[in-house]
Structure 1
């Protein structure tokens, strides 16, 4: 996997707080929520490059050997 780019992003504190609350509701970090929204916007605009890796689903990663209890 290619190294991820690091950027400095300046946000209005109220916007950051709203993003952080939204991210918590969806079990994502604020950074993952921003990436999710940017990817969605790129996709909706038809500008998401081909070959872009998929994002990890929200929530905690499963421990090895952990079974799916949704059945």
Structure 2
């Protein structure tokens, strides 16, 4: 898949926070921004594909088995 390039103007303090976060996750800042945007887009239901919301825990059977 080809990636689209575009300029992003971002507050320096926000960039520094993203840079630290990316380092914690062993990603580049660019890859981390893409990851954060993808997750937010999926969570909002705006990205086609399977819903990545946290799986629901199954309730135990009523008879205790």
TM-score, length-scaled by structure 2 = 0.71
What root-mean-square deviation, in Å, do the aligned CA atoms of Structure 1 and Structure 2 show?
A: 0.8
Q: Which has the higher contact order (CA 8 A, sep 6+)?
A: 1
Structure 1, unpaired ranges of 5+: 51-71
> How many residue pairs were aligned?
49
TM-score, length-scaled by structure 1 = 0.65
Moved over 4 A (4+): none
Greater Rg, structure 1 or structure 2? 2
Structure 2, unpaired ranges of 5+: 50-65
